[in-house]
Amino acid sequence: MFVWIPLFPLVGVVLNGLLGGRFFSRRLIHGTAVGAVALSFLASAAAFARLLGSTEPSQVKTLGVWIPATVVRLLSRNATSFSVDLAFRYDSLAAVMTLVVTGVALLIHIYSIGYMAHEKSYARFFAYMNLFTFAMLILVLGANLAVAFIGWEGVGLCSYLLIGFWFSKDAAANAGKKAFITNRVGDFGFLLGTGLLLATLGTIDTAQVNALAAGGGLTKGTATAAALLLFLGAVGKSAQIPLYTWLPDAMEGPTPVSALIHAATMVTAGVYMVARLNALFSFSGTALTVVAVVGALTAVYAATMALVQHDIKRVLAYSTISQIGYMFLGLGVGAFSAGIFHLMTHAFFKSLLFLAAGSVIHALAGEQDLRKMGGLRSRLPWTYRVFLVGALAIAGVPGLAGFFSKDEILAAAFGAGNYAVWVLGLAGAGLTAFYMFRLIFLAFYGPQRSGPEAKHHLHESPPVMMRPLQVLAGLSVVGGYIGLPHILGGGNWFARFLEPSTGLHELHLAAPTELLLMVLSAGIAAAGIAAAYIIYIRKDGAPARRLAERFSTLYRVISRKYYVDEVYNGVLVNGTLQAGRVAAAFDARIIDGLVDGAAALARGVSSLAILFDGRAIDGAVNGLGSVHRVLSGALRRVQTGYVYNYALAVIFGILVLISLVVTIF
């Protein structure tokens, strides 16, 4: 039963989150976390096997009503019979995603045992990682946009928690906030898009939305608006132009986090969502074009920034942005399965690259600056080997996973007649090959530039870290063959498997053209690698320095990341702060003025009341008192206390009485 898949990590979160920190040994903590993900992976594999054996293209499991129609009617005032079910759908797309998510998460969890071995908050780390896996699976399996949104927000939360894992460091805490707030912008679009679909279609079930969009249940304009709003969510989550600035900063988190969340899974959620709603995007051609253009621009734009970064993880971060751009490019030209194919291969080789970079950083005791590395090939032979595999895969060297997926996307772009997008993609491919090998040559070749202490500390990572890397390296090599195109003798099994979910993308290209495109993309990858070799090995970086001097302005602009962060800070952040200040001033002057005025008025009135109270009321009360005092002061004289006085009075009284009696009677 596929609903078991997300359940295991949830159990892991509960165990490690509630008990782990206090009662569990480190062994038990990572045993629980890894075991949970491993069970989840097994469940995914079992569900996948069942799907292969079944004729049903998708299974839906409804656990119950989440928001009953009565509640919706109460909230929306108009009579609607709409309700939201807590429903999950498992189809070929979800199968691919669950396998990738749980598989990569499992390897990264195992790797983390070694990488986080010296960490104090061990249980917290693994609880967050499990929580992330759980949320990601909910996002993938959610049958409607509302359930998917739980996962969508959950992964955002985990991203925030894990970027800021070392929250005592200012940079990490700020990066976490930046990621969360930037994602808010996108999530707002996601919510609006969901609302628009709900208002026009009356359903947010993804399959029904697709069916209704394909069946003409929507106007073109509405479909475009809804698709673009949802794409805004994807842009935020997947770090595309213009909401990409949070991802490089997110590298403040621990490296396994960067590999799992910010390379393999969460940032591809946007790609998944667009592929999930492919009929909606296809129906609105405009939205699809926007997706393609944004993806292509991001692919090149982020690649240029990766060229000049000195931080090993930031190079990979920009590379991730660029590669996700490729995925969107693929989706945008209608090749949904190609986009998902690249998502999968990218998950393999990018998490491999991140984890290998983590191994380098681990070996160098936290050093991330490429300028302080160099010559690590002989000292870290295994790390070097797996890193090289990852770099070859991402560069698109024929035979490795990245080649097939990237080539399929580029061929689809060319086949769709979208030549501008294709040229951008091709240029990005060359840049990708170049910056990856720049990284390799700087880190692993040449003289050792690290300090003596780091040199002394230098060691290859333990097996618990190396084994997952080797598995990922294997996947980076063979992962592409499940999508081997017809032209190379394969049947593109992957695309056919995804057909029930994403539809089949027919490539109308002549065989020679397709082969030529392949040769071209392989050639441009080779050119990029060769250029990096000449510049960084032969000439020891001299041409790079010369170029940087010659075009110093351009170099500065790129290395400062096109000043986008500065612009965002200046315009958006400061704008918000300014607006806040204006509001504060309004608050202080007008609102507080009103409140203070009312208070002053009340004070004036009450001082009058005090005056009245003091003079009139107290005067009356005190006057009564003093009248009594004066009268009683006269009377008290009589009360002498001497018995004989009283006796005298008695006698006089009797005499008076007697005389009265005598005179009257």
Work out whether 662 is an interface residue with other proteins (CB under 8 A): no
Piece of 34-42, 185-193, 540-548, 637-645 that binds other proteins (CB under 8 A): 637-645
Piece of 144-152, 451-459, 528-536, 631-639 that binds other proteins (CB under 8 A): 631-639
Work out whether 118 is an interface residue with other proteins (CB under 8 A): no
Alpha carbon distance 277, 287 (integer Å): 12
Closer residue to other proteins, CB minimum distance, 74 or 662: 662
Closer residue to other proteins, CB minimum distance, 75 or 634: 634
Among 74, 79, 638, 662, the residue binding other proteins under the rule CB under 8 A is 638
Tell me how far, at minimum, the Cβ of 628 lies from other proteins, in Å. 13
Query: What single letter denotes the amino acid at residue 598?
Result: A
Closer residue to other proteins, CB minimum distance, 577 or 650: 650
Among 547, 588, 648, 660, the residue binding other proteins under the rule CB under 8 A is 648
Piece of 125-133, 170-178, 598-606, 645-653 that binds other proteins (CB under 8 A): 645-653
Alpha carbon distance 312, 647 (integer Å): 118
Closer residue to other proteins, CB minimum distance, 626 or 640: 640
Beta bridge partners of 91: 58
Closer residue to other proteins, CB minimum distance, 512 or 633: 633
Residue 368 dihedral angles phi and psi, to the nearest 5°: -115, -5
Alpha carbon distance 95, 497 (integer Å): 10
List the one residue out of 116, 609, 562, 485 whose CA is nearest residue 309: 562
Answer whether 177's CB lies under 8 Å from 246's CB. no
Piece of 214-222, 370-378, 466-474, 643-651 that binds other proteins (CB under 8 A): 643-651
Q: Helix %, strand %, coil % for the chain, to 5?
A: 80, 5, 15
Footprint of other proteins on 194-223 (CB under 8 A)? none
The CA angle 469-262-46, to the nearest 5 degrees, is: 60
Binding mask 273-302 for other proteins (x = CB under 8 A): ------------------------------
Alpha carbon distance 535, 512 (integer Å): 34
List the one residue out of 34, 32, 43, 51 whose CA is nearest residue 7: 43
Closer residue to other proteins, CB minimum distance, 642 or 665: 642
Piece of 125-133, 362-370, 501-509, 646-654 that binds other proteins (CB under 8 A): 646-654
Tell me how far, at minimum, the Cβ of 641 lies from other proteins, in Å. 3
Residue 86 dihedral angles phi and psi, to the nearest 5°: -85, 80
Among 120, 644, 663, 664, the residue binding other proteins under the rule CB under 8 A is 644
Among 75, 635, 661, 662, the residue binding other proteins under the rule CB under 8 A is 635
Piece of 81-89, 238-246, 257-265, 636-644 that binds other proteins (CB under 8 A): 636-644
Alpha carbon distance 579, 315 (integer Å): 35
Tell me how far, at minimum, the Cβ of 622 lies from other proteins, in Å. 22
Among 74, 636, 662, 663, the residue binding other proteins under the rule CB under 8 A is 636
DSSP 93-112: HHHHHHHHHHHHHHHHHHHH
Closer residue to other proteins, CB minimum distance, 167 or 652: 652
Among 515, 640, 653, 658, the residue binding other proteins under the rule CB under 8 A is 640
The helices-and-strands tally (H runs, E runs) of the chain is 31, 2
Among 647, 657, 658, 660, the residue binding other proteins under the rule CB under 8 A is 647
Helices (H), ranges, 205-335: 206-214, 220-237, 246-249, 255-259, 269-276, 278-283, 285-307, 312-332
CA 247 to each of CA 146, 210, 371, 476: distance values in angstroms, whole numbers, following the listed order: 25, 31, 22, 23
Piece of 5-13, 499-507, 613-621, 647-655 that binds other proteins (CB under 8 A): 647-655
Piece of 60-68, 289-297, 561-569, 632-640 that binds other proteins (CB under 8 A): 632-640
Tell me how far, at minimum, the Cβ of 613 lies from other proteins, in Å. 33
Among 53, 366, 447, 641, the residue binding other proteins under the rule CB under 8 A is 641
Element (H, E) at 50: helix 26-53
Evaluated on CA atoms 52, 53, 58, 61, the torsion sign reads: negative
Size of the site for other proteins (CB under 8 A): 14
Closer residue to other proteins, CB minimum distance, 606 or 639: 639
SS3 of 444-458: HCCCCCCCHHHHHHC
Among 75, 79, 643, 664, the residue binding other proteins under the rule CB under 8 A is 643
Piece of 41-49, 231-239, 276-284, 640-648 that binds other proteins (CB under 8 A): 640-648
Quote the distance between the C-alpha of residue 430 and its chain's center.
Answer: 29
Closer residue to other proteins, CB minimum distance, 25 or 645: 645
DSSP letter for 261, please: I
Tell me how far, at minimum, the Cβ of 663 lies from other proteins, in Å. 21
Helices (H), ranges, 551-617: 552-559, 564-567, 574-586, 592-612
Tell me how far, at minimum, the Cβ of 653 lies from other proteins, in Å. 14
CA 219 to each of CA 197, 223, 225, 303: distance values in angstroms, whole numbers, following the listed order: 11, 6, 10, 37
Query: What single letter denotes the amino acid at residue 426?
Result: L
CA 134 to each of CA 41, 128, 165: distance values in angstroms, whole numbers, following the listed order: 12, 10, 18
Piece of 240-248, 313-321, 619-627, 633-641 that binds other proteins (CB under 8 A): 633-641
- Print burial letters for 581-610: b (CB count within 10 Å at least 16), e (below 16): eeeeeeeeeeeeeeeeeeeeeeeeeeeeee
Q: How many Cβ atoms are within 10 Å of 482's Cβ, its own excluded?
A: 18
Alpha carbon distance 482, 473 (integer Å): 16
Binding mask 588-627 for other proteins (x = CB under 8 A): ----------------------------------------
List the one residue out of 649, 627, 652 whose CA is nearest residue 640: 649
Tell me how far, at minimum, the Cβ of 634 lies from other proteins, in Å. 10
Closer residue to other proteins, CB minimum distance, 511 or 638: 638
Tell me how far, at minimum, the Cβ of 616 lies from other proteins, in Å. 32
Tell me how far, at minimum, the Cβ of 646 lies from other proteins, in Å. 10
Give Rg (Cα) of the chain: 37
Work out whether 651 is an interface residue with other proteins (CB under 8 A): yes
Euclidean distance between the first and final Cα of the chain, in Å? 125
DSSP letter for 5, please: T
Among 642, 661, 663, 664, the residue binding other proteins under the rule CB under 8 A is 642
Residue ranges that bind other proteins, judged by CB under 8 A: 632, 635-644, 647-648, 651
